[in-house]
Amino acid sequence: MSANNRYHQLYNTAYYERLHRLNSIGNNAYREAQRLETIEVLCKPDVSDEVLELGCGTGFYTRLLAPRVHRIVGVDFSATAIEKAIAHGQADNVQFFIGDIQNLSMFPESSFDKILAIDILEHLSDFQLRAALREVVCLLREGGAFVFFTPCRTHWIESLKSKNIIIKQIREHIGVRSEAVYRQIMQEHGLEVKSVLRYETCIPILRTAERKLKRIPLIGNLFVSRLGMAVSN
């Protein structure tokens, strides 16, 4: 089976139907608040901004940001996702495109002030991530920001998942990385880390403890469940 066919089997209609469905533990309102804080604090939406969302899926965050920016474009490789995004309706300053984030030659260089990727980079292999970052570097205007939210490899639950101990890794998560690895890869592409938000787990009870534990030197990284990062050229 080709890699393209495997991708389409993973990211099918059922996947996009459950994408933003909140539950009580793994993808709950607490986790969603972390995503929204990353967008608010690191992306800093402005009425003059032209924004690109990578892997926009059904356009949830694209539509959320639309009233606060000049223009926003959502790109996803899945025709199913883009069809759903368009079906929700779109404001005049919103566009959706089917496209591979590893090749965004459809846009001129330096087209965007902000580029956003929420829960996307963990779905990319190292090769795919580097290809996507080359596109980010090409499309980002001078002084712009690339903002992303992603799982952190150093968290103790992610360590268990990586070894399939007790908890299995989410099959779509082929590239869960640490903050240190992201810093290195960004530097390789001429991108400087400007800000980092380190989030505890969203699991009730555990998150209360991890809010404190993540601040402890030497062991704190074990309790960083998600990263919100902003990098600039």
Mean pLDDT by 10 residues, the chain (233 residues): 56 71 82 97 98 96 97 96 92 96 97 98 97 98 97 96 82 93 98 98 96 97 98 96
Q: Which runs of E-coded beta strand occur in 2-109?
A: 50-54, 71-76, 94-98
Domain presence at residue 167: no
How many of the other CB atoms lie within 10 Å of CB of 61? 24
Domain presence at residue 126: yes
What pLDDT is stored for residue 19 in this prediction? Answer: 65
Q: In this structure, what is the dihedral angle of CA atoms 180, 186, 6, 149, given to the nearest 10 degrees?
A: 70
pTM: 0.93
As a whole number of angstroms, the distance between CA 109 and CA 138 comes to 5
Domain presence at residue 28: yes
Domain presence at residue 53: yes
Domain hosting residue 13, numbered range: 3-150+176-202+227-232
Q: What is the pLDDT of residues 125-138, one digit of tens each?
A: 999 999 999 999 99
Domain presence at residue 35: yes
Q: Would you state the structure tokens that stand for residue 142, as one six-digit string?
A: 């001078």
Give me the CATH number covering residue 121. 3.40.50.150
As a whole number of angstroms, the distance between CA 38 and CA 32 comes to 10
Domain presence at residue 115: yes
Q: What is the pLDDT of residues 195-209, one digit of tens each?
A: 999 999 999 999 999
**Number of structural domains found in the chain:** 1
Q: Which amino acid is at 175?
A: G
As a whole number of angstroms, the distance between CA 195 and CA 75 comes to 25
Domain presence at residue 34: yes
> Exposed e or buried b for every residue in 156-166, given b needs 16+ CB within 10 A?
bbbeebeeeee
Domain presence at residue 208: no
